[in-house]
Chain A
Amino acid sequence: MSALLVLAITAPLLGLVPLLLLGPRTGERAALGMLAVNVAITAGIAERVAQGGRALGYVVGGFAPPLGVGLRADGFSAAMMLMAALVLLFTGLFAMTGPGDMTRKVKARGSAGMPATFFILLLSLACALNLAFLAQDLFTLYVALELLTFAAVPLVCLEGKAGQLSAALTYLLFALFGSVLYLLGVVLIYGLYGTLDIAHLAGLMAQGTGGATAGAALALMSAGLMAKAALFPLHLWLPPAHSGAPPAASAVLSAVVIKAPLFLLVRLWSDLAPLPLTQVAGPVFALCGAAAIVFCGVVALAQERLKLLIAYSTAAQIGYLCLMFPLAASDDGPWSALAWTGGTLHLVSHALSKAAMFLAAGLIAETMGHDRLSGLGGVGRVAPVSVAAFGLGGLSLMGLPPSGGFVAKVMLLTSALQQGAWWIATVVLVGGLLAGGYVLRVVVIALQHPDSDAASGRGLPDARECRWRALIALALAFGAMLVGFMPLAPLPFLDIGRPVTWEGLLP
C-alpha cells in the first residue's frame, strides 16, 4: 500500500482552499506550490516503480476490489503522470503574475497573470489526470473523466468572448456525449460481469463469456473516449476550442487533457480486452489515426492563423498513438514492444512540444497583437526566444533528430516495416512531411526580413516578448528534445506491472 497514490489525487485539491478563501496573489502562490508538490509526488511514484520493478497499489477505505476501489501505478501510468505534472507546473509558472506584471503598462498590454479561476481549474486538472492514470475501476475512471471535462471546458471560455463561448459549448456537448457513451458501456459491462475492477474484468473477459455484448460495451466506451480525445472523425470541436483559449489554457488542453482519454483507450484495449478482440479492433483505430494524420495535416497546411494551425496539428498528431494499436497487439515479441514504447514516447514528446508551441504562439500573438500568419513576417526579431521554442517544438512534430518525435516515429516505422504493415509506415512518413510543411512555413515567415512585409504597410511593433515566459516555452521544447536521447529499444520501465493484476498489492 503506497500512500503516495492517494496523495497524487488529493494534494492538488488542497490548493483549492487558499484559492477560494484567500486573496488571488496568495492563492496563486499556493497553487504553484501544490503543482510543484504534485511533480515531487509523481516523481516519487515513478522512482518507486522503477526501483521495485513492480506496480504500486492502494486500496481506498480498506475494502479490496471488487467491493471497494483500488488505485494502481504501473510503469506506463507513472510515466504519463510525471509528464502531465511537469507540463502543468510549467504552464502554471507561465500563467502566474510575473515580476513587473503589476505595473499599469504591462496590464494594458494584457500580459498580466491569469485570474484565480485559471489556477482552480489547473489544480483540478492535476487531480483529474492523476486519477485517470491511477484508477482501476471503470466507474472511478468515469468520475475522472467528468472531473477532467468540468475542469477543461471553462478553460476555453475564461475571457468570455463570444467565439470562445460557442467553442466551449461545442466542446462541452462533445465531451458530455462522450461521457454518456462511456457510461453506457460501463453499465453493460456491469450487467455482464457484476464487477468494474479492471484486473477482475480482464480475467473474466479472457474466458470469452461476454460474446457480442462485451464487444458492444467496449465499442461504446471507445467511441466515448474518442469523442473526448478528439480522434478523427470526432475532432470537429478541437480546433476552435484549443485555438480560441488563452495560451496557457491551450497549452494544457492540447498537451495533457486529451492525453487522458487516449491513455484510457490504450488501457481498455491492451489491459482489459482479450487479445483476439484487440487484434480485430486495432486496424479500425489505426485507420482513424491514419485519416487524422493525413486529413488534419493537410487542413493545418491551409490555415491562416497561427493558433489554428497548431490546433489542427494536435488533431493530426493524436493519430500516431492510434497507429500503435495493431502493431502492439500483434503479439510479435520485440516488435510489438517497440511499437508500444514508440506510441508512449510520442504521447510524452508531443505533450512537451505542443505545450511549448502554444505558449510560444501566445507570446508571439501578444507581441504582435494578432496571430495572422501573413502579418508575422520578421517576428523572429522581436520574439526570438519564442520563435526558437516554436521551431524546436516543431522539430519533434516533424520527427527530425534530435527529438522525442524522431525516436517515437522511428520506433513506429521500424515496427511497422518488420511486421509488414507498409501502409502504416507510409502514413508515418507522410505525416512527418505534412508536419514539416506547416512548421517550416511558420518558421520561414518568422525569419523573413521585416522589410519584405512593407506591402502590408506595417512594420514591427515596439513591444518585445516577455523574456522569462519565453524561456519557459523554450524549456518545454528542450524537454521534448531530451526525450530524443532515449535508446532506440523497447523501454523496460513501460512494461512494469503489466498485465494488470492485484497480486501482491492487496493488504
Chain B
Amino acid sequence: MSLVFDAVLCLVLLAGALGVVTTGAARPAVIAFIGYGLLLGLAWVRLAAVDVALTEIAIGSGISGVVLLRCVRALPAEPLTPAPNRMLKPLAAVVSITIAAALAAVVLALPEPAPSRAADVAAALPATDLGNPVTGVLLVFRALDTLLEKVVLLLSLVGVWALSRDPACRGRPAPLSPEPAPAPSAFLARVLAPIGVLVGLYLLWAGADHPGGAFQSGAVLAAMGLLLVMGDQIRTPAAESRGLRLLLLAGPFGFLAVGFAGWATAGVFLGYPPGAEKAVIIAVEVAITVSIAVTLGLIVLGPPAGEERP
C-alpha cells in the first residue's frame, strides 16, 4: 500500500515540477511552485525526515512563495525583453536531465548502509536532556553553525534594507497593498492569526523532544505577522525603532551571550551549564525564534521607505 502511495507521490511530484516549468505566465508558475513545495514536504515525511518536511513547507513553499508572489506583482504585465530563443527551453531541459542523471548515478554509487554520525549523536544526546536528535545537533553539537546561520539571516535583512532610498534605513516598509484591506482579509487575519500563533508556539515547544523547532516556529509566526499586516490589523514597523532592533538582535546575540557564559559555567565556549542544559537551550530557542520571526517578516516586507514627515 505504501509503495503505491510513494509511486503516486513521485508521479505527482514530477507532474508538479513539469507544471512549474511549462506554465507560460509568472503568476500561475509561482502558485504551481508553492503547491510543488507542499508535495515535496510530503515526500520528506515519507522519508521520515519530519523536521526537513516542516522547514520545506514553511520556508521553501510558504515564505519563498510570498516573496515570489510580491515579485510577480511588481513586474510589468507585458514582458519587457523579447521572447527568448526557441532553442533555449529544449537546451535547458537537456542540461537539466543530464545533471539529474549524473547526480542520480553518483548518489546511487554511495555506500550502503550510509556511514553516519547518528550513533555518536544518540550516545551523546542523553547528556543534553533533549529528546529530538535534530535539535541536539543544531543547538549543542554544531551550535557554532546555528549561531552563525542566525547572523547570516540578520545580514540578509541588512542586505534588503541596504536597498532603501534612505541610507540611514529609517521609516516603515510600504504596506503589502496600497488599497485598504477588503473585509474578508481583515476577518481572516482576526480569526486565523491567534490560531496560527498558537501553532507556531507549539512547534517551538515541541521542538525539544519532537520534530519542530525554532526555524519552523519562526516561519509560522512571521506568516501570522504578515497576515495581520495584510488584514490592516497592524502597521508595518518602523525600521529605526530600537525595540524592533532589539528583537532582531535577541536571537544571534542572546545565543552569543550564552556561548560566552559557557566559559564561566562549563569551561568552554558554547558549553551549557551542567544540570541546566535543557532550560538554557529552550531559552536560546525562544530568543532565536523571536528573531527569526521578526527577520523573516521584515525581509518579506522589503526596504523601509525613508524618514516619515511629521
Determine the residue in chain A with the shortest Cβ distance to B242: A21
Whether B159 contacts A154 by the Cβ 8 Å rule is yes
A165 / chain B contacts, CB cutoff of 8 Å: 163
Whether B107 contacts A17 by the Cβ 8 Å rule is no
Q: How far is the CA of A184 from the CA of B103 in the complex (A)?
A: 9
| Residue from B107, B144, B252, B263 with most neighbouring chain A CB atoms (10 Å) | B144
Whether B142 contacts A139 by the Cβ 8 Å rule is yes
Whether B269 contacts A61 by the Cβ 8 Å rule is yes
Q: How far is the CA of A143 from the CA of B148 in the complex (A)?
A: 7
Partner of B158, one of A13, A62, A117: A117
Q: How far is the CA of A212 from the CA of B110 in the complex (A)?
A: 10
- Taken residue by residue from 63 to 91, chain A's Cβ proximity to chain B (1 for < 8 Å, 0 otherwise) reads as 10011110000000000000000000000
Determine if A127 is an interface residue (Cβ-Cβ < 8 Å). Answer: yes
Determine if B106 is an interface residue (Cβ-Cβ < 8 Å). Answer: yes
Determine if B178 is an interface residue (Cβ-Cβ < 8 Å). Answer: no
Determine if A150 is an interface residue (Cβ-Cβ < 8 Å). Answer: yes
Taking the closest CB of chain A, its distance from the CB of B47, in whole angstroms, is 15
Number of interface residues of A (CB under 8 A): 56
Whether B163 contacts A117 by the Cβ 8 Å rule is no
Q: How far is the CA of A24 from the CA of B168 in the complex (A)?
A: 8
With A117-B161, A157-B162, A192-B111 as contacts: A61 and B167 at CB distance below 8 Å: no
Whether A143 contacts B269 by the Cβ 8 Å rule is no
Partner of B151, one of A20, A147, A153, A193: A147
Q: Chain A interface: which of B27-35, B64-72, B114-122? A: B114-122
Taking the closest CB of chain A, its distance from the CB of B248, in whole angstroms, is 7
| Residue from B152, B163, B246 with most neighbouring chain A CB atoms (10 Å) | B152
- Taken residue by residue from 133 to 168, chain B's Cβ proximity to chain A (1 for < 8 Å, 0 otherwise) reads as 000000011111100110110111011011111011
Q: How far is the CA of A193 from the CA of B111 in the complex (A)?
A: 9
Whether A61 contacts B262 by the Cβ 8 Å rule is yes
Taking the closest CB of chain A, its distance from the CB of B300, in whole angstroms, is 17
With A63-B140, A69-B145, A147-B151 as contacts: A17 and B253 at CB distance below 8 Å: yes
Partner of B142, one of A69, A184, A213: A69
B165 / chain A contacts, CB cutoff of 8 Å: 160
Taking the closest CB of chain B, its distance from the CB of A7, in whole angstroms, is 9
Q: How far is the CA of A154 from the CA of B140 in the complex (A)?
A: 31
Partner of A157, one of B103, B149, B163: B163
Whether B110 contacts A147 by the Cβ 8 Å rule is no
Determine the residue in chain B with the shortest Cβ distance to A5: B269
A211 / chain B contacts, CB cutoff of 8 Å: 109
Determine if A270 is an interface residue (Cβ-Cβ < 8 Å). Answer: no
Determine if B89 is an interface residue (Cβ-Cβ < 8 Å). Answer: no
Whether A66 contacts B120 by the Cβ 8 Å rule is yes
With A58-B269, A150-B155 as contacts: A117 and B142 at CB distance below 8 Å: no
Determine the residue in chain A with the shortest Cβ distance to B139: A61
Whether B259 contacts A10 by the Cβ 8 Å rule is yes
B142 / chain A contacts, CB cutoff of 8 Å: 68-69, 139-140
Whether B124 contacts A147 by the Cβ 8 Å rule is no
Whether B163 contacts A160 by the Cβ 8 Å rule is yes
Determine if A158 is an interface residue (Cβ-Cβ < 8 Å). Answer: yes
Whether A188 contacts B110 by the Cβ 8 Å rule is yes
Determine the residue in chain B with the shortest Cβ distance to A159: B167
Whether A194 contacts B117 by the Cβ 8 Å rule is yes
Determine if A120 is an interface residue (Cβ-Cβ < 8 Å). Answer: yes
A13 / chain B contacts, CB cutoff of 8 Å: 151, 252-253, 256
Determine the residue in chain A with the shortest Cβ distance to B120: A67
Determine if B204 is an interface residue (Cβ-Cβ < 8 Å). Answer: no
A401 / chain B contacts, CB cutoff of 8 Å: none
Q: How far is the CA of A1 from the CA of B154 in the complex (A)?
A: 30
Q: How far is the CA of A151 from the CA of B157 in the complex (A)?
A: 11
Determine if B266 is an interface residue (Cβ-Cβ < 8 Å). Answer: yes
A140 / chain B contacts, CB cutoff of 8 Å: 142, 144-145, 148
Q: How far is the CA of A124 from the CA of B148 in the complex (A)?
A: 10
Whether B163 contacts A6 by the Cβ 8 Å rule is no
Determine if A191 is an interface residue (Cβ-Cβ < 8 Å). Answer: yes
Q: How far is the CA of A6 from the CA of B309 in the complex (A)?
A: 45
Whether B110 contacts A192 by the Cβ 8 Å rule is yes
Q: How far is the CA of A381 from the CA of B267 in the complex (A)?
A: 60
Taking the closest CB of chain B, its distance from the CB of A170, in whole angstroms, is 15
Whether A124 contacts B155 by the Cβ 8 Å rule is yes
Taking the closest CB of chain B, its distance from the CB of A27, in whole angstroms, is 11
Whether B271 contacts A62 by the Cβ 8 Å rule is yes
A60 / chain B contacts, CB cutoff of 8 Å: 143-144, 268-270
Determine if A300 is an interface residue (Cβ-Cβ < 8 Å). Answer: no
Whether B162 contacts A68 by the Cβ 8 Å rule is no
Determine the residue in chain B with the shortest Cβ distance to A158: B162
Q: How far is the CA of A468 from the CA of B127 in the complex (A)?
A: 57
Determine if B221 is an interface residue (Cβ-Cβ < 8 Å). Answer: no
| Residue from B120, B156, B162, B256 with most neighbouring chain A CB atoms (10 Å) | B162
A448 / chain B contacts, CB cutoff of 8 Å: none
23 contacts between A and B (CB under 8 A): A3-B269, A13-B256, A21-B245, A61-B141, A61-B270, A63-B140, A66-B117, A67-B117, A67-B120, A115-B168, A117-B158, A131-B148, A139-B142, A143-B149, A150-B155, A150-B159, A154-B159, A165-B163, A188-B106, A191-B110, A191-B111, A192-B111, A194-B117
B residues adjacent to A (C-beta < 8 A):
103, 106-107, 109-111, 114-117, 120-121, 124, 140-145, 148-149, 151-152, 154-156, 158-159, 161-165, 167-169, 242, 245-246, 248-249, 252-253, 256, 259-260, 262-263, 266-271
Given A59-B268, A127-B151, A212-B109, 15 more pairs with CB closer than 8 A: A3-B263, A60-B143, A61-B268, A61-B270, A62-B267, A63-B124, A66-B117, A66-B120, A140-B142, A146-B149, A146-B152, A147-B155, A153-B159, A184-B103, A192-B111
A residues adjacent to B (C-beta < 8 A):
1, 3, 6, 9-10, 13-14, 16-17, 20-21, 24, 58-63, 66-69, 115-117, 120-121, 124, 127, 131, 139-140, 143-144, 146-147, 150-151, 153-154, 157-158, 160, 165, 184, 188, 190-195, 211-213, 216
